[in-house]
Structure 1
Amino acid sequence: MTETPPPRRARAEIDLGALRANVRTLRARVAPHVQVMAVVKADAYGHGAIRCARAALDAGADWLGTATPHEALALRAAGITDARILCWLWTPGDPWAEGIEAGLDMTVSGMWALDEVREAARDTGKRARIQLKADTGLGRNGCQPADWPQLVGEALKAEKDGLVTITGLWSHLACADEPGHPSIASQLDVFRSMLDYAEKAGVEPEVRHLANSPATLTLPETHFDLVRPGIAMYGVSPSPELGTSADFGLRPVMTLKASVALIKQVPEGHGVSYGHHYVTGHETTLGLVPVGYADGIPRHASGRGPVLVGDKVRTVAGRVAMDQFVVDLDGDEPAPGTEAVLFGPGDRGEPTAQDWAEAADTIAYEIVTRIGARVPRVYLNG
């Protein structure tokens, strides 16, 4: 379906046709032997994990990636049973046994995790598929180089004992979105060294991977056997310094719309919203847009966030409240129910997620990911 549904309080339109095209574009940027993992963590960056996962697989993605095991298990429960799924953010006591039963590839970054996955493998009587993650300089999850020999050695023992199969070796870049940052070359060197150690010790991984969205787009030397595009798959540039979405041939997937709930005339000197940080400079009209920070509209964009109403881009007048904000329509009087477009691809003159990121002093990742469950997702081109 391509027909836009009737206006409602608010909706996030998710263009699955754009998502499929983005996956194909990303695949075309890597060598034929390099596999593509579609990252659908955080409910597919706010776009809806199940529908986006299916669309990505339809477009040729080889793997799915999630942060938590619960996200991965939800994909399995939704009927996505054949695709390989890697999940990487585990905590003690997480459902390792369920992950084994579901055929997940599970990341191990330290000895506590290897201990728990070995115990779960014994309990289920099945081999666990694990991938060892190295901390090559990001300083978050992953095994430090000094601890790598112990983790690799114990994982190989577990593999010999029939408890695990080591399916991958991987790491994550800290500054791939900053062209020329010295950490990129440093991390690449450390990763190659840690790969070399593990493979000489006897690890035979199916995949070795390092590249996130910006590295997929701009650093072919980081592609190895698999790339993990996340935000780029949703048509958002991972960094304005690298280029716009259009520069990379990507189209934003989410368009956030609302219906103007009220139009009213107010006199000069009228305060608007909490704290009266905006006061009208002359007699004017105000439009009420019925979404607020409870829906994911950043309060930090108060007084700055752009909105297309009619054929003009307006600016949030005063503070964004929990459920609503106001725009100054400068005397225009559109009918109640008129569409307000907060962000989209930009080709109709509407703002983009990047415009809102700049207004809120954040990144476009946060803008799309924070749109809350109170805003229904409407899927187009499914």
Structure 2
Amino acid sequence: MSALAEAVIDLGAITSNVRTIASVTDTELMAVVKADAFGHGAVPVARAALCAGAGWLGVTSAAEALALRRAGITAPTLSWLHRPDDDFGKLITAGVDIGVSTTTHLRAVADAAHRLGVPAMVQLKADTGLSRNGAGWNDWPELVGWARKYEREGGVRVRGVWSHLADADIPGSPALARQVAAFEEALGFARSAGLDPDLVHLANSAAALSAPRSRFDLCRIGLALYGVDPFGQAGPGEFGLRAALTLRTTVVNVKRVPAGTGVSYGPEYVTKAPTTLALLPLGYADGVTRAAEGRASVWLGGRRCPIVGRIAMDQCVVDAGELPVTIGDPVVVFGADGGDDAAPTVAEWARWAGTNPHEILTGIGARVARDHLHERTQVS
């Protein structure tokens, strides 16, 4: 490999996951490819997901949506997080649906549509309990009223009404039922005001797999698309998802050291016995987070070996014990398998770091090369 490390993305796993989730949900699916498809590569992942039957793509920003269009991907796409002074004309011209949560944003979208003489496709977001984006109940009537006004005038078309769940990944959470009820109330109000959305959606990955009442017309799949169990299982879960990304590198230095040898800065780790140390050219700039120090391991020489000492920006040290390690030996930081006799999973790394798999995946740095397997380019 030319790079010091690479993330190998199996697009066959992406297509398999779309089909697996589709078999459970029996609804339309939106493949969420924001943040460069959780570090997997937005364009190839989008094409793979569409090829497998996903009908929509979801992104956070205008820049992400327009990058898909520049790549020739014309599939229905929703972009949902914007500043009110964004150039909405570009999104309208590109045929991208615009998520709207405030009247300020709605007016800006309608103004852009008026200047173009083309109606904007918008999807109104209600806040049903996440307290993040979306219009709360006090603001929802005004947002709906203005949307209906602009729709009658021909400036916008309200294609969708949607919201986002707070804790669908917690089995049996009473908040999920409350949010579904709140969403149904918001939807009923919108319809009573004269709106007739084609697309109603609430479910994320966890809800798509476990909460039928939340599925409505479409499910937005993010983490599950990439083969990670949204309920936090360290290995393959009951749904048959396949992890799509393997982060791997090679050993670039090896040294045999005696007991009492300090390793890395501090040192905070000192060897207790003679051992072999293997240097890996990956550090926190590449996504090997310092938050996992003292707990993380990698797959080297047919077994798990711990990362020891402080993780630096560009490198980290593995205690290989008595393994016959040599320069150039392959290392898997995390991969598609799981269990004590296989490479660590991204879910395990998340647990070691006290975070979620999303942060581990999106934290893989730009200098880590991406290698896409089974890439297809014919679907747009």
SS at match of 2:90: helix
Aligned: 1:276 with 2:290: no
Q: Match of 1:19, as an amino acid?
A: I
1:1-382 maps to which residues of 2 (within 5 A)?
A: 6=1, 8-31=3-26, 34-81=27-74, 83-240=75-232, 245-346=236-337, 349-382=342-375
CA displacement 1:59-99 (0-9 Å, x = unmatched): 00000000111111110011102x00001111121120100
- Contact map agreement 2:101 2:134 (CA 8 A) in 1: yes
How many residues align? The count is 373
Shift of the alpha carbon at 1:277? 1.0
User: Hey, what's the Cα distance between the residues in 1 that align with 2:29 and 2:236?
Assistant: 19
User: Hey, what's the Cα distance between the residues in 2 that align with 1:362 and 1:245?
Assistant: 19
CA displacement 1:290-309 (0-9 Å, x = unmatched): 10000111111112111001
User: Hey, what's the Cα distance between the residues in 1 that align with 2:342 and 2:275?
Assistant: 23
CA displacement 1:167-223 (0-9 Å, x = unmatched): 000000001011111211111111000101101111111110000010001101100
CA displacement 1:78-132 (0-9 Å, x = unmatched): 1102x00001111121120100000000011001001100110111111000000
User: Hey, what's the Cα distance between the residues in 1 that align with 2:283 and 2:46?
Assistant: 28
Q: Match of 1:190, as an amino acid?
A: A
SS at match of 2:83: coil
Shift of the alpha carbon at 1:334? 1.6
* CA RMSD across the alignment: 1.3
Structure 1: state its 5+ residue gaps. Answer: 1-5
Q: Match of 1:228, as an amino acid?
A: R
Q: Using a 3 Å threshold, how does the CA distance of structure 1 residues 312 and 361 change in structure 2: closer, same or farther?
A: same
Structure 2: state its 5+ residue gaps. Answer: 376-380
User: Hey, what's the Cα distance between the residues in 2 that align with 1:119 and 1:128?
Assistant: 10
Q: Using a 3 Å threshold, how does the CA distance of structure 1 residues 202 and 244 change in structure 2: closer, same or farther?
A: farther
- Contact map agreement 2:3 2:368 (CA 8 A) in 1: no
User: Hey, what's the Cα distance between the residues in 2 that align with 1:30 and 1:333?
Assistant: 49
CA displacement 1:297-323 (0-9 Å, x = unmatched): 111111211100110100111111100
Shift of the alpha carbon at 1:339? 0.6
CA displacement 1:115-150 (0-9 Å, x = unmatched): 100110111111000000000110000001111111
SS at match of 2:221: coil
TM-score (norm 2): 0.96
- Contact map agreement 1:294 1:372 (CA 8 A) in 2: yes
Residue identity (%): 50
Tell me whether 137-146 or 86-95 shows the greater mean CA deviation.
86-95
Tell me whether 43-52 or 8-17 shows the greater mean CA deviation.
8-17
- Contact map agreement 2:97 2:123 (CA 8 A) in 1: yes
CA displacement 1:11-52 (0-9 Å, x = unmatched): 000000011000000111112xx2110000010001000000
User: Hey, what's the Cα distance between the residues in 2 that align with 1:76 and 1:258?
Assistant: 33
User: Hey, what's the Cα distance between the residues in 2 that align with 1:298 and 1:100?
Assistant: 39
- Contact map agreement 1:8 1:259 (CA 8 A) in 2: no
Tell me whether 64-73 or 340-349 shows the greater mean CA deviation.
340-349
Shift of the alpha carbon at 1:363? 1.2
Stretches (4+) displaced over 3 A: 243-246
SS at match of 1:378: strand
Tell me whether 355-364 or 95-104 shows the greater mean CA deviation.
355-364
User: Hey, what's the Cα distance between the residues in 2 that align with 1:133 and 1:54?
Assistant: 26
User: Hey, what's the Cα distance between the residues in 1 that align with 2:118 and 2:236?
Assistant: 44
